[in-house]
Amino acid sequence: MVKNFEDMQKLGKDNMDAMQTSLGVWSKGFQTIAVEMADYNRKAFEDGTAAAEKLFGAKSIDKVVEVQSDYLKTAYEQFVAQATKVGELYAGMAQEIYKPFENTMSKTAAK
């Protein structure tokens, strides 16, 4: 009976440690994603402002179409790259969050 109680206490402690580790990874991961998104938004705003300035300075319709097309192409490419990067950050964060529980479960299954 005492052995089972000690095993349960150890399992509870291991689970609490895994939860604390996972919460730390979760917090750090979301901070990283927030910084990444803030940087992306700042750059997108700067690029949009620069494109607007070019549009206001355009002397012909052809130049307006060229500036707008270049801006849209660049904005789309940057968006796709950013979405891919953030997706990879989320996937990596999920793997890191799961690791402490994976270790705990493998120890439990080994007994």
pLDDT on residue 36: 96
pLDDT on residue 16: 87
pLDDT on residue 17: 86
Q: Contact, 92 vs 28, CB < 8 A?
A: no
Q: Contact, 101 vs 18, CB < 8 A?
A: yes
Handedness of CA 48, 50, 53, 58 (dihedral sign): negative
pLDDT on residue 34: 96
Q: Give DSSP secondary structure letters for the chain.
A: -HHHHHHHHHHHHHHHHHHHHHHHHHHHHHHHHHHHHHHHHHHHHHHHHHHHHHHHH--SHHHHHHHHHHHHHHHHHHHHHHHHHHHHHHHHHHHHHHHHHHHHHHHHHH-
Q: pLDDT in tens for each of the 111 residues of the chain? A: 457 778 778 878 888 888 898 899 999 999 999 999 999 999 999 999 999 999 999 999 999 999 999 999 999 999 999 999 999 999 999 998 888 887 766 666 655
Q: Which two tokens stand for residue 2?
A: 């005492």
pLDDT on residue 55: 92
